[in-house]
Amino acid sequence: MIVKDITEENIEDLCQVCVPPAKKEHPDWVRGAGEKKKWAVDMLQKWGSFAKVAYTDDIPVGMIQYKPIPEERIVSIDCIYVPRDKYWRKGAATQLFFSLMEDMKKPLSYFDNKRALALVTRTFPGEEPGQYSAYNFFRGKGFKQAGEDPDCLYLPLKTGFTYQPVTKKEVEYVPQEEDRGQVLLICGPTGCPGTYPYFLKRMEKYIREVDSKIPVRWLDSSKDLEKVKERQIDTGGCIVNAKHIKSFVLDKESFQKEVRVALEAG
Ligand SMILES: CC(C)(COP(=O)(O)OP(=O)(O)OC[C@H]1O[C@@H](n2cnc3c(N)ncnc32)[C@H](O)[C@@H]1OP(=O)(O)O)[C@@H](O)C(=O)NCCC(=O)NCCS
């Protein structure tokens, strides 16, 4: 097993590693991987180092994605993933993590040539049945809870450093008159190739089951940036009848319930 930093040469491996093998040719997943490529090219240009892939016999088996938060002098791990079961528990994630830890020993230009104070991550339940959770993985690597949020974990890189999550004012959807009586799904460049095929297309399907006639409009943040900005909704967002749907789409019952409430709101 070897770990490589993402460069222009292997950027495609990062975009493909999380795509299920059976879906490689599926148009929705091809589009999802394409959205990730746009995101990755931008990240590479912006930060230089932002992701690593683990390879077994030249096959990409896992990845870690991260970015610096210069104003807090921390590095945020946004995703760690070893998708296929035949590669679980073989040390891929550990090697990815240790490779990042090695990088953290060096001063970083975006921290005025100082070292990062901590690695920080916000975990979410992205694991398949039988797969280890990111939460357990990071706890096993010594991460502790930051502040009140049990999903916010950190690993101090400087002795005695305590991380307190910065409470950012929650950005709320700014309702637009033209959003009434329709559905808006926000797509565009993103770090997850499943955002379009797995999450957004599923939202469309579940909404169709509740209302088969409501018009569905797609807003692409790479083309309709102004429209996305005026609504203040990120890629992956869903608006129904000028209401932002906040339920997680994999919780189908809650998602459809919230959609019904939004539609009934008139
Ligand atoms: C967590 C994850 C990255 C671990 O990957 P991995 O390559 O199998 O991990 P490693 O082989 O490096 O093992 C790391 C540790 O986890 C433990 N572990 C891994 N899978 C385990 C399992 N199913 N049960 C118990 N322990 C497990 C290993 O024993 C090891 O423990 P140790 O450090 O005490 O020896 C992987 O299971 C995964 O991708 N989970 C989903 C994470 C997720 O939701 N990501 C977001 C998706 S978009």
Burial 231-259 (b: 16+ CB within 10 A, else e): bebebbbbbbbbbbbeeebeeeeebbebb
Residue 168, domain member (yes or no)? no
- Out of 106, 126, 156, a domain closes at 156
CA dihedral angle for residue 107, residue 109, residue 114, residue 120, rounded to 10 degrees:
-90
Distance (angstroms) between ligand 1 centre and the Cα of 89 equals: 6
Do 137 and 187 belong together in one domain? no
Ligand 1 binding pocket, CB closer than 6 Å: 62, 79-82, 88-94, 126-127, 131-132, 134, 137, 140
Residue 234, domain member (yes or no)? yes
Residue 170, domain member (yes or no)? no
Do 188 and 150 belong together in one domain? no
Count how many domains the chain has. 2
Query: What domain range includes position 190?
Result: 177-264
Residue 258, domain member (yes or no)? yes
**Whole-structure pTM value:** 0.94
Distance (angstroms) between ligand 1 centre and the Cα of 88 equals: 7
CATH code where residue 61 lies: 3.40.630.30
Contact 187, 237 (CB under 8 A): no
- Using DSSP's 3-state secondary structure scheme, residue 12 falls into helix
Which one-letter DSSP state was computed for residue 165? -
Do 16 and 134 belong together in one domain? yes
Residue minimizing CA distance to atom 47 of ligand 1:
126
Q: Determine which helix (DSSP H) or strand (DSSP E) holds 206, and give its type and residue range.
A: helix 201-210
Residue minimizing CA distance to atom 23 of ligand 1:
132
pLDDT tens string for the chain (266 positions)?
999 999 999 999 999 999 999 999 999 999 999 999 999 999 999 999 999 999 999 999 999 999 999 999 999 999 999 999 999 999 999 999 999 999 999 999 999 999 999 999 999 888 989 999 999 999 999 999 999 999 999 999 999 999 999 887 778 999 999 999 999 999 999 999 999 999 999 999 999 999 999 999 999 999 999 999 999 999 999 999 999 999 999 999 999 999 999 999 86
For 227, phi then psi, to 5°, come to: -65, -35
Do 141 and 248 belong together in one domain? no
Do 7 and 124 belong together in one domain? yes
User: Given the CA of residue 132, which atom of ligand 1 is nearest to it?
Assistant: 37
Residue 172, domain member (yes or no)? no
Distance (angstroms) between ligand 1 centre and the Cα of 83 equals: 10
Residue minimizing CA distance to atom 10 of ligand 1:
91
Residue minimizing CA distance to atom 21 of ligand 1:
132
Do 130 and 196 belong together in one domain? no
